[in-house]
Amino acid sequence: MKKLIVAAAIIVFSLSTAYANIADTYGLGARGSAMGSAMTAIADDWSSAYYNMAGLGRRPKIESLDEVKSASTQLLYKTLSKVQQKKILGEKGEESEEPAAKVNNNELALGYLYSAPLVNVSYDGATEVDGLSAGALMLGLVIDMETFVRMPYGLNMRLGACAILEDDFGLGKVTDDDPQAHYFLRYGRKIQRFLLNMGIGVEVWKDHLYIGVGSTTGVASEGAVMIEHVQMTEETQSPPARTKMNLRPGQAPLAGISFKWENLGPGTFNAGFTYRGQLVLVIDPFDTEAVTELGNIDMKMSLAIQDYFTPNEYILGLAYTYPNLWIFKSVTFAFDLEYQQWSRFDLSRTRKLQPDYEDPNFTDIIIYRLGFEETVFSWLKVREGYVYRPAFTPDQTGRSNFLDNNTHIISLGLGFVIPDIIILKVPVEVDVAYQFQYLSERESIKIDQSNPYNPSYSYGGQVHTVFFSIRWRY
């Protein structure tokens, strides 16, 4: 009986924990991550399904292969077939305006990231900070509606989806721990879950204005457990039990707007706004009932489990592209201002009923993002980014140990275009990136110093992440 009560108590005391997700912590795709995720104003590829759904309505620039004629890429040019060379040089050896291969607005993208958080807590009993390294697979798909329908006035409309899956192919890792456990809420198990964004982007003003809507898909449910013929004993027993769980999709809205104006001054001005809605996994009610064999005592409990909280996010982005700046063919400067509404987070219904309930008091934060992209050649781009992300957790002076730090993020990356040579029918775009996150040291001074299991401590560290992604447009 005691073991049954302990098992029920584990469910009753299930902690609802706040999370970011993999994309919020690291970015989506190597290009966006290399630019500090300052992509709201300029996203126009598969990653638009996360950064700004309106970007699906844009027509991505087709990279030219003109520079394969230069001496520095002469070897690459020689690998092209004669037919492909004629497409570049023309039948009479003159330059052609047509690219080496026709590229449409459909896209398929694959990506991978590997992260190695090297974080620390000065308290030796904080075992939850080990083994946080993890990898994730990314998949992007974009379908150009002009493939199927005739769009009026030559406007563009595309459907898009992006998904993130752990590299062990798990759909998620749910952790129910006491709030005294020391968890970094943006790393490790706390963000390892499946993420799926889907939506549509539409061009509403030719070459200028685009809008997009979509959703993030999660899981919600309700369940019940019935245990019968429970004996009044401390011995291990296996009474008959019935469990029911109804799973249903949980949706959070996504919306965005994107604006572009070419030849505004010497270059092109871009602006964008994105809204990503709050998402949370809720199992409520989770009704539990146990009936003892002796005396037929009926014990009923109404429980609730809440997990995987992601806040409302509002992002404003501005960008400007200068052509022929210094040694570069073009340079893009991007800036994002992101507001995350963590104050809406709350613990599960059952947690709030406990006598030791402690309000998490998470605060709303503003994240600053800077991104740069230099086009060295039409087939080579260099990228840099910087992010300042403040902590959303207050000082942990009580029983809980929610860990988050003021974080400085620096990123670097390269983008390559591999032409349609040998067996390739279309050019392949390859992006690589490296990201360094520095977690500023933070100290938690506990008010009650008499508890040996919850002492004062400091925490911080650094996180190293590498990214790789590849895109085909066909």
What are residue 256's DSSP bridge partners? 212, 274
For residues 144-159, average pLDDT: 89
Q: What architecture is domain 2-57+102-473?
A: Beta Barrel (2.40)
Dihedral sign, Cα of residue 163, residue 166, residue 169, residue 171? negative
Token code pair at residue 276: 């990503």
Query: pLDDT digit string (tens) for 343-365?
Result: 988 765 555 556 566 788 999 99
H helices present in 35-168, as ranges: 48-51, 74-78, 82-89
Residue 86 sits at φ, ψ, to 5 deg, of -65, -35
Confidence band (pLDDT; 50, 70, 90) for 227? Answer: low
Pairing label, strands 183-184, 402-403: parallel
Burial of residue 341 (number of CB atoms within 10 Å: 0-12, 13-18, 19+): middle
- pLDDT at residue 259 tops 80: yes
Q: What pLDDT digit, counting tens, does each position of 68-106 carry?
A: 434 334 444 444 555 555 555 554 445 444 444 444 689
User: Looking at the predicted structure, is the pLDDT value of residue 323 above 70?
Assistant: yes
**Parallel, antiparallel, or unpaired: how do β-strands 267-276 and 241-264 relate?**
antiparallel
| Cα 182 → chain centroid | 23
Q: What is the mean pLDDT of residues 150-178?
A: 83
Of 205, 337, 348, nearest in space to 280 by CA: 348
Residue 383 has pLDDT above 70, yes or no: yes
pLDDT of residue 345: 82
Across the range 361-384, mean pLDDT stands at 96
Q: How far apart are CA 416 and CA 185, in angstroms?
A: 34
Q: How confident is the model at residue 176 (pLDDT cuts 50, 70, 90)?
A: low
Q: Can you list the alpha helix ranges (DSSP code H) found in 296-400? A: 349-352
Domain map (residue ranges) of the chain: 2-57+102-473, 65-98
Helix (H, G, I), strand (E, B) or coil at 60: coil
Residues contacting residue 303 through CB under 8 Å, at least 6 positions apart: 11, 12, 14, 285, 286, 287, 288, 350
Tens of pLDDT, residue by residue over 264-317, are 999 999 999 999 999 876 666 666 667 776 666 666 665 655 556 789 999 999
Average pLDDT (21-40) is 96
Those residues with Cβ within 8 angstroms of residue 265's Cβ, 6 or more apart along the chain or in another chain: none
